[in-house]
Amino acid sequence: MPPRKSDGPEPGQAPYFVRSNGRRREVPSADRTARSHPDTDKKARRHPNAAGAAGAAGWTPPRLTGRGGVLLIVVFSFAGTMLAHLTATPAAPGLAFTLACLLTAAVVRPSDLLSLSVSPPIAYFVAVVAAESLLALGNEGFARVLILGLASRLAEVAPWLFLGTALVLVISVFRGLPGNLRNLGDELNGRK
């Protein structure tokens, strides 16, 4: 058995368990570090992409993982459901869900678009079950109140669910969802 390397991967190379997909990490050389400006160094320490963007006026938006996007949909939907109960505004959960769908479809990492595109209805259901369970606590016939609350909430928000899910799919298609589907097909067929 050959000896194991304990010092990690070569500079700029991914570890053996991570596919690099052609992306290489920039490793600062001694020349670049010596020539850099003190203000740029401070920005680079705070945010790794700030050194490259210091000269450019471009701002890169934050990126969420697929799980983070789904969690954002759950949180917005839960807040919208609770707000609808407190203020008697039936459109609040639908608006919150649609806003969360737009936001997550725009900010989630392109590699996580496939997992995000199938998740919005499930995320909304989880949020509404949590909210209705919280609202049904303390009532006699907890199960009956929960089921009636779920049925009425899902019925009044159904058009918003379709709209939010369709928006996620449309935005995801323009951000690279077809490439993710091709990659998944290649992996399932053993071509990668």
From the list 123, 184, 14, the residue with the least C-alpha distance to 176 is 184
Q: How far is Cα 169 from Cα 165, in angstroms, rounded to an integer?
A: 6
The mean pLDDT of 127-154, rounded to a whole number, is 90
Residue carrying structure tokens 């159904």: 158
Q: Could you give the percent of the chain with pLDDT greater than 70?
A: 70
The mean pLDDT of 92-115, rounded to a whole number, is 92
pLDDT-derived band at 185, boundaries 50, 70, 90: confident
User: How high does pLDDT run on average in the chain?
Assistant: 79
Residue scoring higher pLDDT (39 or 62): 62
Q: How far is Cα 109 from Cα 153, in angstroms, rounded to an integer?
A: 31
What's the pLDDT score for residue 56? Answer: 54
pLDDT-derived band at 55, boundaries 50, 70, 90: very low
From the list 166, 53, 63, the residue with the least C-alpha distance to 106 is 63
Q: How far is Cα 22 from Cα 65, in angstroms, rounded to an integer?
A: 20
Using an 8 Å Cβ cutoff, are 172 and 116 in contact? yes
pTM recorded for the entire structure: 0.67
On the question of pLDDT at 177 being above 80, the answer is yes
Q: How far is Cα 73 from Cα 184, in angstroms, rounded to an integer?
A: 24
Q: Could you give the percent of the chain with pLDDT greater than 90?
A: 40
- Cross-strand partners of 64: 108
| Environment class of 8 (CB within 10 Å of its CB; exposed 0-12, middle 13-18, buried 19+) | exposed
| Environment class of 3 (CB within 10 Å of its CB; exposed 0-12, middle 13-18, buried 19+) | exposed
On the question of pLDDT at 126 being above 90, the answer is yes
The mean pLDDT of 91-117, rounded to a whole number, is 91
Would you say the C-alpha torsion 179, 185, 188, 191 has a positive or negative sign?
Answer: negative
On the question of pLDDT at 143 being above 60, the answer is yes
Q: How far is Cα 168 from Cα 122, in angstroms, rounded to an integer?
A: 13
Q: How far is Cα 78 from Cα 123, in angstroms, rounded to an integer?
A: 10
Q: How far is Cα 70 from Cα 105, in angstroms, rounded to an integer?
A: 10
